[in-house]
Amino acid sequence: MHQDQARPGLVEPPPSVPQAATCGFYLLHRPGGLVLHMSASAEHLHEMRSEVFKSVASAGIGEDVAEAARLVASELVGNAVRLCGPWTPVIVQVSRGEGQVLVQVHDPEPAAVPSRGERAPDNADAETGRGLWILDALAPGWTVESTPVGKQITCALTCKDLTAA
């Protein structure tokens, strides 16, 4: 059926959902965060970074935490692409928790768990391998959880602004 044709019995979604939907990019803003389903591409990665920053900053949380959330989400999606391949379908979630901002990325490959290389993060010869060190610095204790359809990596960014909120 052509997508412009009416489908009897189907209810039209509210005009506010989703906030952005294009081929491979489906964004839903939630109170204190967002959920983004996307196929990882350079264009989508750029837009994801922008949306993560705006979501955290517009929630009244400091720009330093918004920048950290953007960097963490970018590293996690980048790792998913390196481990699973280009155009990997991922889900990026950003939400407020008790005194923290959670950044979660879900990808379809449960066995492809990120691991550190042998080189130190300050090795001048290393072209890659700093992302997990960045996660350790910004979100110590990040976790990887297997799910029925892949894995989810969760990073908690401490936020003093949320402890008083």
Q: Note the pLDDT tens digit of each residue in 27-65.
A: 999 988 999 999 999 889 999 999 999 999 998 889 999
H helix intervals, 90-158: 131-138
Note the pTM of the prediction, 2 decimals.
0.80
CATH topology for 22-111+130-163 is: Heat Shock Protein 90 (3.30.565)
β partners of residue 93 = 35, 104
Residue 86 has pLDDT above 70, yes or no: yes
Q: Rounded to whole angstroms, how far apart are CA atoms 156 and 47?
A: 22
Residue 163 has pLDDT above 50, yes or no: no
Of the candidates 140, 84, 74, the residue with the CA atom closest to the CA atom of residue 111: 84
The reported pLDDT for the residue numbered 164 is: 47
- Buried-exposed string 152-165: b where 16+ CB fall within 10 A, e elsewhere: bbbbbbebeebeee
Instruction: Judge contact between 16 and 41, C-beta under 8 A.
Output: no
Residue 114 has pLDDT above 80, yes or no: no
The pair of structure tokens assigned to 48 is 């994801």
H helix intervals, the chain: 42-58, 63-84, 131-138, 160-163
